[in-house]
């Protein structure tokens, strides 16, 4: 583990989660893949943090790392995940190896079974494909009720696997464990399941609860998945591309629903998407990810009004202009780089695609505050210097007209995204 940071000293109770220098690697036969590299961010109470980036930038692996779901050959290799949980902090204070600071616990220093037990009651998850989250041969109501049941037992004592057997007897627990798909469901859990279906806007929830997943439309199933994630009354909802598979109208409804449940419950949300329109509509703060790193972070206004990193500008430039549709979108030229450790190099990972790349970019820029503000930060030399064409590395880089055009397009598209978000 890396040298522990001083960040925990500044943890305050309204910081629900503070992730410090988190790294996750896949140890494949072809070599080591640095999927997440020294990523740090905070999630505060009652806010939506948007994480945006192209495909392969490490968004999902970051989310999986938080909830300890990275599968072999992957592993979280470094970093700290400070979570505000006064009871857990009391339980682990003074225990060998466990790191506790005030009411925060570093989840990487507590046993895996504790982290597992936090999934549901502490961290709810919504993924892109609702079909894969439901068992096709069990009714939606029963599956939700089971989720309620499991969360109730787990939250009774997150530290103890015994709590899974409490309340309905060990013999029943064994039968349920060996007969697939048969979980114990009490009447009160089923009532709660129906209530949750109602809360996520499913009409006639009692009748719908008796239906199978295949009888639900995509949008309805996505609502049911949100209900499932809410079953444990989590502090943090991790929504990974929650609307990508849905058509635009249903997408808007699901986003509205997410906003409503977030506001009603005062919950925190980490919203992961490659869609800046969704980010603009939903987020309080934004982290922009590229090649496993957070390259720019700031509140909605900073990222949309004053993006500094050319990657962020490029993303803004690739939002479709709804007022004046282009024949086709202009994606950012080039591809996401290889994340193989041996091929990543020492400089800025975006240099190959950056229209402003200069000689100084061949050394990795540290994250620095933009305009001296703590909240808006970027990993780019342009934070504190102007682009100098005489130092330019690429042919396109010397074409200042192109650069100006792309900036103008980024500004125009950012403004459109904001208008869309306000509607
Ligand atoms: N099982 C795996 N084995 C090896 N490498 C992996 C594995 N899973 C992920 N990776 C690496 O991690 C990188 C980041 O993946 P991740 O799924 O986090 O991307 P993402 O930003 O969520 O992309 P998308 O928008 O397509 O969902 C991938 O490009 C890949 O290189
Ligand atoms: S550090 Fe250099 S190459 Fe990297 S994004 Fe900034 S200007 Fe471009
Ligand atoms: Mg993903």
Dump pLDDT digits (tens) for 287-296. Answer: 999 999 999 9
Q: Which residues sit with their C-beta closer than 6 Å to ligand 1?
A: 26, 28, 33, 35, 53, 55-61, 74, 274, 339
User: For 98-136, how does the pLDDT look when each residue is reduced to its tens digit (9 = 90+)?
Assistant: 999 999 999 999 999 999 889 888 999 998 777 778 999
Contact call for residues 79 and 22 (beta carbons, < 8 A)? yes
Residue 31: which region, alpha, beta or left (left: phi > 0; alpha: psi -120 to 50)?
left
Whether the predicted pLDDT of 420 surpasses 50: yes
Q: How many CB atoms lie within 10 A of CB 204?
A: 10
CA distance 106 to 108: 5
**Distance from Cα 70 to the centre of ligand 3, integer Å:** 13
State residue 168's pLDDT score.
Answer: 38
Q: How many CA atoms lie within 13 A of 133 on its CB side?
A: 22
User: Cα 207 from chain centroid?
Assistant: 33
Whether the predicted pLDDT of 3 surpasses 50: no
Which residue's alpha carbon is at the smallest distance from atom 6 of ligand 2? 380
User: For 46-63, how does the pLDDT look when each residue is reduced to its tens digit (9 = 90+)?
Assistant: 999 999 999 999 999 999
Residue 185: exposure state from Cβ atoms within 10 A (0-12, 13-18, ≥19): buried
Contact call for residues 310 and 355 (beta carbons, < 8 A)? yes
Q: Hey, which of 36, 53, 61 would you mutate to test ligand 1's pocket, going by the most ligand atoms within 8 Å of its Cβ?
A: 61
State residue 165's pLDDT score.
Answer: 36
Q: Hey, which of 337, 351, 406 would you mutate to test ligand 2's pocket, going by the most ligand atoms within 8 Å of its Cβ?
A: 351
Sequence-separated (6 or more) residues with CB below 8 Å from residue 145: 185, 186, 189, 190, 192, 193
Average pLDDT on 376-403 reads: 76
Which atom of ligand 2 sits closest to the CA of residue 360? 2
User: Cα 174 from chain centroid?
Assistant: 35
State residue 221's pLDDT score.
Answer: 92
**Distance from Cα 53 to the centre of ligand 2, integer Å:** 16
CA distance 222 to 128: 8
Which residue's alpha carbon is at the smallest distance from atom 4 of ligand 1? 26
Sequence-separated (6 or more) residues with CB below 8 Å from residue 305: 414
User: For 222-256, how does the pLDDT look when each residue is reduced to its tens digit (9 = 90+)?
Assistant: 999 999 999 988 999 999 999 887 888 888 889 99
**pTM summary value:** 0.86
User: For 203-220, how does the pLDDT look when each residue is reduced to its tens digit (9 = 90+)?
Assistant: 999 999 999 999 999 889
CA distance 56 to 292: 8
β 104-106/123-126 pair status: unpaired
SS3 136: coil
Which of the ligands is closest to the CA of residue 352?
2
């Amino acid at each position: 583990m890396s040298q522990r940071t001083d960040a925990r000293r500044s943890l305050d109770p309204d910081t629900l989660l503070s992730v410090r220098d988190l790294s996750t690697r896949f140890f494949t036969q072809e070599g080591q893949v640095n999927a997440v590299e020294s990523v740090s961010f905070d999630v505060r109470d009652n806010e939506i943090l948007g994480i945006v980036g192209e495909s392969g930038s490490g968004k999902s692996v970051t989310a999986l790392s938080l909830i300890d779901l990275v599968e072999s050959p992957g592993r979280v290799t470094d970093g700290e995940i400070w979570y505000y949980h006064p009871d857990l902090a009391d339980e682990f204070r003074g225990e060998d190896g466990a790191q506790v600071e005030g009411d925060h616990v570093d989840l990487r220093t507590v046993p895996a079974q504790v982290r597992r037990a936090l999934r549901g009651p502490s961290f709810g998850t919504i993924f892109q494909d609702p079909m894969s989250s439901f068992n096709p041969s069990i009714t939606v109501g029963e599956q939700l009720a089971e989720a309620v049941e499991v969360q109730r037992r787990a939250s009774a004592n997150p530290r103890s696997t015994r709590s899974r057997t409490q309340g309905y007897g060990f013999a029943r627990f064994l039968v349920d464990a060996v007969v697939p798909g048969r979980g114990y469901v009490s009447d009160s859990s089923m009532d709660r399941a129906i209530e949750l279906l109602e809360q996520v806007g499913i009409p006639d929830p009692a009748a719908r609860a008796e239906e199978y997943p295949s009888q639900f439309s995509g949008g309805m199933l996505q609502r049911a998945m949100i209900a499932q994630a809410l079953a444990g009354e989590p502090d943090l909802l991790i929504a990974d591309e929650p609307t990508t598979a849905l058509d635009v109208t249903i997408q808007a409804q699901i986003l509205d629903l997410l906003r409503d449940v977030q506001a009603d419950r005062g919950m925190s949300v980490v919203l992961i998407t490659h869609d800046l329109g969704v980010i603009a509509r939903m987020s309080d703060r934004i982290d922009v990810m590229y090649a496993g790193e957070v390259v720019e972070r700031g509140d909605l206004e900073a990222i949309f009004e004053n993006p500094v990193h050319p990657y962020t500008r490029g993303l803004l430039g690739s939002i479709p202009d709804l007022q004046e549709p282009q024949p086709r979108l202009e994606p950012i030229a080039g591809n996401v780089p290889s994340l193989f450790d041996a091929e990543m190099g020492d400089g800025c990972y975006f240099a190959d695609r950056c229209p402003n790349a200069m000689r100084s970019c061949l050394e990795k820029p540290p994250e620095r505050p933009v305009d001296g503000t703590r909240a808006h930060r970027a990993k780019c030399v342009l934070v504190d210097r102007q682009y100098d064409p005489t130092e330019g590395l690429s042919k396109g880089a010397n074409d200042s007209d192109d650069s100006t055009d792309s900036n103008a397009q980024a500004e125009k598209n950012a403004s459109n995204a904001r208008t869309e978000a306000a509607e």
